[in-house]
Amino acid sequence: MNNKPTLILLPNRDELNAVLSEDIAKYLNTALNKYRAASLAVSGGATPADMLTLLGKKKLDWPSIQTLLVDDRWVAADHQDSNQAMLNKTLFSGLAANSRYLPLKNDASNVNDGQHACEEQLAELTWPLSVVHLGMGNDGHTASWFHDAPEYPMLMAAHEQHCTAVHPSAAPYSRISLTPTAVLNSERIVIQVFGKAKRDVLERALAKDADYPISLVLHQQRVAVDIYWAP
């Protein structure tokens, strides 16, 4: 099986947001028609905000769609740096508010303790996920897979884990993140990238012997990957 990623180039960010939101809705509809249920894992940060707002307005059977984040910072849900707070302002500001949402962040006092409860909840979901939406940092990280985190060397060995606690050195906050095993247990992966700097990192990450975190997704042969890029 040759699942070389497909690069979809759009002329501007508005058009990318429109095309990607429409494509994700199409994939979710396909799953709904086939299984009567679907699931969507999305990334946080500034890049996907406008796309998620558009997606949240799509007329889908949202009560039959399970939504969750790919990763989140271990902060309160109303914290300005919480990915969940971003979802509330974007995806969940529309019809998608009626979806079934599973937060990665829980009430545990720290991420290490919280990981266990999160793992139990994730294990109860129906797998594979229908669509996983990823972003990428300028350092080539995706989800909360950071090279400088002590957990990074074990990520690919976490075959039974759906999530992991992450303690990056350079990035703020402890994190909870889906593992590569969970992300790759999906039917479709879409990656959203803006700007020349990230395009350059992406090209390096696609090289045969690249060791960027995003390369774990780009080089695998299990799941189809579409990369959406705009300047």
Report yes or no: 137 and 144 within 8 Å, Cβ to Cβ.
Answer: no
Mean pLDDT for the chain overall: 96
- Tens of pLDDT, residue by residue over 119-151, are 999 999 999 999 999 999 999 999 999 999 999
Does residue 160 carry a pLDDT above 90? no
> Parallel, antiparallel, or unpaired for β 163-166 and 175-178?
antiparallel
Angle, CA of 11, 224 and 16, to the nearest 5°: 20
pLDDT of residue 2: 61
CATH architecture assignment, domain 6-230: 3-Layer(aba) Sandwich (3.40)
Q: Mean pLDDT throughout 54-79?
A: 98
Helix (DSSP H) and strand (DSSP E) numbers for the chain:
7, 10
Q: Mean pLDDT throughout 9-20?
A: 98
pLDDT of residue 132: 99
Length of the chain: 231
Its pTM stands at: 0.97
| Residue found under tokens 């695998």 | 220
- Tens of pLDDT, residue by residue over 166-197, are 999 989 999 999 999 999 999 999 999 999 99
pLDDT of residue 72: 98
Report yes or no: 40 and 20 within 8 Å, Cβ to Cβ.
Answer: no
User: What is the Cα–Cα distance from 48 to 175, expressed in whole angstroms?
Assistant: 19
Q: Identify the CA nearest to 184 among candidates 142, 157, 217, 227.
A: 217
| Residue found under tokens 């990623």 | 5
Q: Identify the CA nearest to 162 among candidates 152, 149, 176.
A: 176
Does residue 158 carry a pLDDT above 80? no
**Residues whose CB is less than 8 angstroms from the CB of residue 217 and which lie 6 or more positions away in sequence, other chains included:** 134, 142, 180, 183, 184, 189, 191, 225
CA distances from 36 to 39, 64, 92 (A): 11, 7, 21
pLDDT of residue 156: 73
Q: Mean pLDDT throughout 50-72?
A: 98
Contacts 24+ apart (CB under 8 A), 156-161: 156/180, 156/216, 161/119
Tokens of 198: 């990230």
Q: What DSSP character marks residue 209?
A: T
Q: To the nearest whole percent, how much of the chain has pLDDT over 90?
A: 95
pLDDT of residue 15: 98
- Tens of pLDDT, residue by residue over 95-126, are 999 999 999 999 999 999 999 999 999 999 99
pLDDT of residue 27: 98
Report yes or no: 162 and 123 within 8 Å, Cβ to Cβ.
Answer: yes
β-pair partners for 178: 163
